[in-house]
Structures are given as C-alpha cells and as structure tokens.
C-alpha cells in the first residue's frame, strides 16, 4: 500500500512560542558582543555585490569635478545646440510610409506621439544637467577654473531648463478633446437606439474595436520609432562627448521610446488575445 502524503505538522501554541523565544535568544547572542561585527557578519552572509561595489569604489576614488576641464565648455555648448535642435525638429514631418490617402490624417497623429516622447527626453536631459552641474560645482575648489566653468553652465541650465518642460504637448490634446465633445454628445443621443443584444451589432462593434486597436498600435509604434531615431541622430554624439568631459556621471539620459513602444505592443497583444476570447464566450453563451 503506497504511503499517504503526510500533512504538515501543525505547531501548538506552546511550540510556536518556544520557536519565537529561541529566535530572539539567537538574535541576542549575535548582538551581545560587538554590534558592528555582528552586523558585518550578517551582511557578509547575505552576499556581496562585487560588481556594484567595485563601480562605487572607482567613482569614489575620482575627486576631480571634471574629467576634461579644457574640453568641457565646448562640449557643453555643443550639447546645448543639439538640445535646441531636438526640441524644435525632433518630431516634425515624420514619415508614415505607404498609407495612401490616409497620410494627411496619419502624419499629425504620429507627430503628436513623437512630440510627446521627444519633449520628454529633452526635459529629462535639461533636468539631469541642471542637477549634475550644481553637484559638480559644489565639489570644485573655490576660485578654480573648473568651478567657474561649472557655475556658468549651471546658471545657463537654471535659465534654460523651464523651457524644456514639454509644454507644447498639452495644448493640442486639449484642442482634440474639446473638438470631440460635440461629436460624442451627438453620438450619445443616438446610441440609445442601438440594439446591443443583436449579434450583428455585437460583432460589428467588436470588429471596430479591433480595428481601432490596430490603428492605435500602428500610430504608437511609428511615433516611437521617429522619436527614437531623431533623438539618437541629434543627441547621441554631443551628449556622449559632454559625458566624457564630465566623467564618472553614470549613464547619459536615454529617451523612453523603446519602453513606450514595448508597452504599446504589450497592450495591443493583450487586446487582440482578450477580445476574441470575450467574443467567443459571448457567442457561445448568448
């Protein structure tokens, strides 16, 4: 006769109390000596992140506020020029491929998505430089050339950063929603006459939802691609050079186009998987 699986042993209240007391006793013994040594022993047992710790140690060893003080002013000016071009031209006139007569409608929508991503990227660059310059200025020796150069750059970023707050995106969004209100209101008056219990109506609405999902995915992917390509074209080299002259500043800011596109693809995929299942269940149990 095969052995039956054993049930997990249940602890009686007294046994549970004994275990808790034992744990407290072990903790007391651990900390009864040198508390710092006990803490070090516990941390050592949890494992050391050697790669991260080596990177931290290397950065702490660098005391110069700028890796290349002579090249910093030129790299800063070049990055400022690239940032201006990115904010102005990084999203305009995006290619939309062969969409035929839909091009006049598709291009502004794709441009809207690209504008949001580009301006968000410009804002992140300006904010990062503003903070980084202020921190390196505080690390520079008073009266040194590095401190003066960083102070000038920091003052410039204090003036420029508010202008890269992504303010050009909200206004078109308000206009679109404002124009859509009368249309939605008129549609709401007639929607009561639609028989949603009818199978043709139900399937038609499902097909329309799938088409809208496909179009939304296409727009988001094209807008993300345009923003990513333009951001790399305009900012990659100037920002890389600036980061080299600063030194030990971590990774330079990156645009969010890839993450944005990934989320769009995931949402669209889920939509295309969920909607057919819902439709099938609705048809079966109708």
**φ and ψ at residue 8, rounded to 5 degrees:** -60, 140
What is the pTM (predicted TM-score) of this model? 0.71
Residue 208 lies in a domain: yes
Residue 148 lies in a domain: yes
Residue 222 pLDDT > 60 = yes
Rounded average pLDDT over 147-168: 89
Number of domains in the chain: 1
Residue 128 lies in a domain: yes
Residue 163 pLDDT > 50 = yes
d(CA 276, CA 271): 9
Rounded average pLDDT over 70-83: 97
Q: What is the pLDDT of residues 166-185, one digit of tens each?
A: 544 543 444 344 434 444 44
**What per-residue confidence (pLDDT) applies to 148?**
96
Residue 5 lies in a domain: no
- 237: containing domain: 64-285
Residue 271 pLDDT > 90 = no
Residue 18 lies in a domain: no
**What per-residue confidence (pLDDT) applies to 187?**
47
Residue 34 lies in a domain: no
Residue 21 lies in a domain: no
Residue 46 lies in a domain: no
Q: What is the pLDDT of residues 229-257, one digit of tens each?
A: 999 999 999 999 999 999 999 999 999 99
């Amino acid at each position: 006769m095969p052995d039956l699986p054993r049930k997990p042993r249940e602890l009686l209240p007294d046994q549970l109390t004994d275990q808790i007391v034992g744990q407290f006793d072990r903790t007391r013994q651990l900390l009864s000596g040198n508390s710092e040594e006990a803490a070090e022993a516990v941390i050592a047992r949890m494992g050391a992140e050697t790669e991260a710790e080596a990177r931290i140690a290397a950065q702490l060893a660098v005391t110069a506020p700028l890796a290349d003080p002579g090249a910093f002013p030129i790299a800063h000016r070049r990055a400022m020029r690239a940032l201006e071009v990115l904010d102005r031209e990084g999203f305009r006139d995006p290619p939309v491929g062969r969409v035929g007569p839909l091009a006049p409608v598709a291009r502004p929508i794709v441009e809207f998505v690209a504008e949001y991503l580009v301006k968000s990227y410009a804002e992140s660059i300006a904010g990062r430089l503003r903070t980084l310059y202020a921190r390196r200025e505080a690390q520079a020796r008073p009266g040194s050339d590095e401190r003066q150069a960083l102070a000038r750059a920091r003052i410039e970023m204090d003036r420029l950063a508010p202008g890269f707050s992504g303010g050009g995106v909200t206004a078109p969004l308000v206009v679109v929603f404002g124009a859509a209100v009368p249309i939605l209101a008129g549609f709401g008056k007639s929607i009561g006459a639609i028989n949603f219990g009818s199978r043709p109506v139900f399937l038609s609405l499902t097909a329309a939802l799938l088409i809208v999902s496909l179009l939304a995915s296409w727009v988001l992917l094209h807008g993300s691609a345009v923003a990513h390509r333009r951001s790399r074209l305009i900012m990659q080299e100037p920002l890389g050079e600036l980061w080299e002259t600063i030194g030990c500043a971590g990774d330079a800011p990156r645009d969010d186009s890839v993450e944005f596109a990934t989320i769009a693809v995931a949402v669209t995929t889920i939509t295309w998987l969920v909607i057919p299942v819902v439709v099938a269940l609705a048809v079966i149990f109708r």
